Structure 1
């Protein structure tokens, strides 16, 4: 039999704690952007099963509101980094999950390579009644006996098996079920968890399960022989000096606390640097998913959501309001840049290019979802019409929306977004002119909005006033590829 507490268990135990805490805090930052949990992807206001906000909005509210009004600013004491920074929170979450999974894989390989799995994986159903007996012993304020020849009693062994081999993979699987690229490419996968909202709720419950386990785990260490347990967990040696192990263990916990304080402070103080540093590890993965996965979503008219949230208030500029009053009759969409045939198209011209209709699920970066039918012009036909030059690698969509007026919060400038040209050639990438069989409503982007079904909603620019083909998005705005990326530190690729 292998050692009861080998050194690699102590090392991976420490790393697991560090990365799990990063995941939990950054996950709470993501949750704060839409602090409501649903079991259905329609996300009807007021029908959530759990809410972490005092704000109440209704589908029939007389006062206009948008999903951004539902966002909460949680304290950096619990959220990473806190204070309405979903962009940086997502960066930390997706960076941490890579290292957490890597730590877990190393641990699993060593578990089976060394034979340690004998201590973790039950081999007989008797573990269940034995575990119940162990719990009864605890309830009688006694310590149950360990399994002969093993370091754990039955309840411990069963719990560790559940946490390591069931709960941890469950968190990874439910996390993947919230990716718009994964859901669009593999619609069947989301159905396993009852849609994205089901996966989101289960993912949160998984976090709660980890938190409960951690509390109970610490309590169990305290009621057992603390010096001996500390020697095993910290120094991987039951016979080591227990007091020394406690001191080293407390120093390790203090180090984790200090690292989290520094990480939080740095993220809030140097947001652009944080975006760029974490982007080195996060962005390549997002780009690969965005490039590799094509949408295969096919919903039916019965799946269309009765209520579709609005994200952001419509433009308030005089020119846009005049166009809207006249039904956008004089609207023209200039398309130029690095193209051989620049054009300026009216809505009639756009419709004349041929239409496409699709019923798809919208995935907002905040976390809410809704299904709608979109009709419009495939972006592939726009590409054929204007003939991009070889140097053209990205497409920029400019909006009428002056965010300094419609959003504020210290941010400014007209909204824009960019995508790589290859994304525009996807079968379900369109310039939408209609929604649910009617002309596109103003609140949802009239007269023209972008639809990219493998991406998060912020990439689907609304109220489009111009399109430009460019070589490098770093020459536009603040150089991050879009207004949200510039001002709120989002990732440029948005497939997860």
Structure 2
């Protein structure tokens, strides 16, 4: 009795073999050793460029004319309008809510961009045609809460006079911002006096974030949302949705970059004191603000884990109808 023929161990035909799409995608997704080397080479190149930038700026600041520039513009100016020192409790609360909502907004926004086949949907009552994915509903709900928090923050800034802290009131802000930037790059950092007055680079960064980036994020998000009036043809033509899509994601990247730089400088320029400023309304080097900060991270982490259909669906049902595919 002859044994059954064994399948060939190597394919030697001329017709193309059938390879599943999943197998191709899996093969493409596996990082190769050349990609690893490219990443390491890129990181090393960035490190070399950073070191060169530090050395170049240090050399530049050693010249007499740059020493005169630093003496004339130390990195901050005294605002012409007096403002109370310190951070009121409402600043601490607004800061926490902003961080809490921003983290979840970025998470849900990335999910919206990458979600191919949503499994759960939300629709307003009486309008089934307005159905959107539960992820998009969550993203838009967070946006609304973030806007409310921002409006309250800006109103309190104006009422209490603390707007002077983050709104430039002198043209000296620009040379002082350049001075502060050079000092940061040289690692001979400007004097930190955030309890009383931000340096000019901080002031410009906060101003751009609060009064430019945040409104742009809101305007572009509103244009892409279901809240945009469908019958406003002239308005839609004047402000095409493509413009909003082209701007919305880069604005998110700006917020990510701002958060990374902000957290890094908080950690490197007096960690405990900065945390006391932001979370405990104290100008002291104690552990109070640190532990409040840790508690806030626990809350944010819990919300991150809970942001899934099992938890979100019952909440979404309060405001509309939730259904499966």
TM range (shorter): 0.5 to 0.7
1:261 aligns with 2:98: no
The match for 1:251 is: 295
CA contact (8 A) 1:230 1:242 kept: no
RCO comparison, higher one (Cα < 8 Å, 6+): 2
Q: Match of 1:273?
A: 314
Alignment of 1:178-197 (within 5 A): 178-179=224-225, 182=228, 184-190=230-236, 195-197=240-242
Q: Which residue of 2 aligns with 1:8?
A: 90
Residue of structure 1 aligned with 2:324, choices 482, 487, 495? 487
Residue 113 (structure 2) pairs with residue 31 (structure 1): yes
- Rounded Cα–Cα distance in structure 2 between residues aligned with 1:16 and 1:147: 23
Matching of residues 291-302 of structure 1 within 5 Å: none
| Residues 23 and 149 of structure 1, relative CA distance in 2, 3 Å threshold | closer
Contact kept? 2:108, 2:135, Cα under 8 Å? yes
Contact preservation (8 Å) 1:177, 1:189: no
1:97 to 134, 143, 158: 143
Partner residue of 1:215 out of 254, 260, 279: 260
1:137 matched to which residue of 2?
Answer: 183
> Following superposition of structure 1 onto structure 2, how do residues 56-71 of structure 1 map, counting pairs within 5 Å?
71=116
Q: SS at 1:486's partner residue?
A: strand
Structure 2 match to 1:316:
none
In structure 2, the CA distance between the partners of 1:271 and 1:161, relative to structure 1 (3 Å rule), is closer
- Note the alpha carbon deviations across 1:100-129, whole angstroms, 9 max, x for none: 111111111110111001111001222122
- Structure 2 CA distance, aligned partners of 1:227 and 1:272? 39
Determine if contact 1:178/1:196 at 8 Å carries over to the other structure: yes
Change (3 A) 1:188 1:146: farther
Contact 2:213 2:251 in 1 (8 A): yes
- How many angstroms apart in 2 are the aligned matches of 1:72 and 1:2? 52
TM-score normalised by the chain length of structure 1: 0.43
Work out whether 1:201 is the aligned partner of 2:246. yes
Cα 1:166–1:272, aligned 2, differ >3 Å: closer, same or farther? closer
C-alpha root-mean-square deviation of aligned residues, in Å? 2.5
Matched, 1:112 2:136: no
Once the two structures are TM-superposed, the CA of residue 244 in structure 1 deviates from its matched residue by 2.4
- Relative to structure 1, is the Cα distance of residues 188 and 244 closer, same or farther in structure 2, using a 3 angstrom cutoff? same
Shift of 1:232: 0.4
Instruction: Work out whether 1:18 is the aligned partner of 2:64.
Output: no
Partner of 2:200: 154
Higher strand share: 1
Q: Is 2:180–2:199's contact at 8 Å kept on the other side of the alignment?
A: yes
State the shift of 1:189 in Å.
4.1
Q: Distance in 1 between matches of 2:297 and 2:227?
A: 37
Corresponding residue for 1:297? none
**Residues 211 and 188 (structure 1), Cα distance of their counterparts in 2 relative to 1, 3 Å cut:** farther
The unaligned stretches of length 5 or more in structure 1 are 34-70, 74-85, 284-479, 489-496
Maintained 8 Å contact 1:137/1:144: yes
The separation in 2 between residues aligned to 1:244 and 1:149, in whole angstroms, is 16
Alpha-carbon distance in structure 1 between the residues aligned to 2:227 and 2:292: 44
Check whether the contact 1:147–1:154 (CA below 8 A) recurs between aligned residues.
no
What number of residue pairs does the alignment pair up? 231
1:238 aligns with 2:283: yes
> 1:201 Cα shift?
2.1
- The answer for the alignment partner of 2:70 in structure 1 is none
Shift of 1:177: 1.7
Is the Cα–Cα contact under 8 Å of residues 9 and 107 in structure 1 kept in the other structure? Answer: yes
Q: Separation in 1 of the partners of 2:269 and 2:238?
A: 41
In 2, Cα distance between equivalents of 1:148 and 1:214: 17
Describe the superposition over 1:142-199 as per-residue Cα deviations: whole angstroms up to 9, x where unpaired.
2213689942111000100000011111111111222466363434544565x21221
Distance apart, 1:271 and its partner CA: 6.4
Q: Give the SS at the match of 1:95.
A: helix
Matched residues in 2 for 1:9 and 1:135: separation?
26
Distance 1:135 1:189 in 2: 41
Q: Aligned partners of 2:306 and 2:317: how far apart in 1? A: 17
Q: Relative to 1, partners in 2 of residues 1:143 and 1:270: Cα closer, same or farther, differing over 3 Å?
A: closer
2-structure distance, mates of 1:188, 1:26: 31
Compared with structure 1, are the counterparts of its residues 219 and 272 closer, same or farther at alpha carbon in structure 2 (3 Å cutoff)?
Answer: closer
- Distance in 2 between residues matched to 1:23 and 1:149, nearest whole Å: 29
Alignment check: 8 A CA contact 1:88 1:274 kept: no
